[in-house]
Amino acid sequence: MTAIAPSTEVDLTVEEDIRLLKRIAERDAASFQAFYKKYSGLIFASISNVLNDHHDTEDVMQEVLVQVWNKAHLYESRKGKPLTWLTTLARNRAIDRIRSKQRRSRLNDDFETENKKDQFEFEPSGHENLEFKERDGILHQAVSRLTPDQREAIELTYFNGLTQAEVAERLHEPLGTIKARIRRGVNRLEMLVKPRLS
């Protein structure tokens, strides 16, 4: 009996993964479960390597699994192996999480800077964490009071970490429209937030 060559085993694995993705695209839960059992450890490791944060890694892993379930039909074998597609999804989602955190922090910093321009004293350092949480809550309440168009553009840009060009593409709107919408939204946020932070 001849042993199967390693390259043949790899080919069989790829073919099996392609079949699983096709069945997942047809909403086959058993295939999704099989795919999850096979690759959950790898997905977790790929995300963890980027984020280095257990809680964020778990969150992003859930997002990736939802993407696999919803976007399996978009996989094209001619563009690469299923494993490559999966690890790219995981890595991109992890990077999106980092960008989202950075943008949210930047938005908070912008309001912080505006608010402190006319102040001569800063809050004691022991209160900074509590103050940040309070400001974050105020900011989220203010975002909820924007028009639906402004809110969607602001959330996609600052909270989901998309660039303005990516937001325009996702919403099928001209880039100039998105830029104006974000600018009006940020101006409105300043009007809503400043009185509550002063």
Q: What is the pLDDT of residues 128-165, one digit of tens each?
A: 556 656 766 777 777 788 888 988 888 887 777 778 88
Give the confidence band of 21 by pLDDT, cuts at 50, 70, 90: very high
Architecture per CATH, domain 6-96, reads as Orthogonal Bundle (1.10)
Higher pLDDT, 197 or 165: 165
Domain ranges of the chain: 6-96, 127-197
For 22-36, what is each residue's pLDDT tens digit? 999 999 999 999 998
* This model's pTM is above 0.85: no
pLDDT band at 1 (very low <50, low <70, confident <90, very high): very low
pLDDT at residue 75 greater than cutoff 70: yes
Torsion of CA 164, 166, 172, 177, to 10 degrees: 10
pLDDT of residue 2 exceeding 50, the answer is: no
Q: What are phi and psi of 174, to 5 degrees?
A: -65, 150
pLDDT at position 186:
83
Is 6-96's fold the same as 127-197's?
no
- Burial level of 131, CB count in 10 A (0-12/13-18/19+)? middle
Residue 92 in contact with residue 64, Cβ under 8 Å? no
What dotted CATH number matches 127-197?
Answer: 1.10.10.10
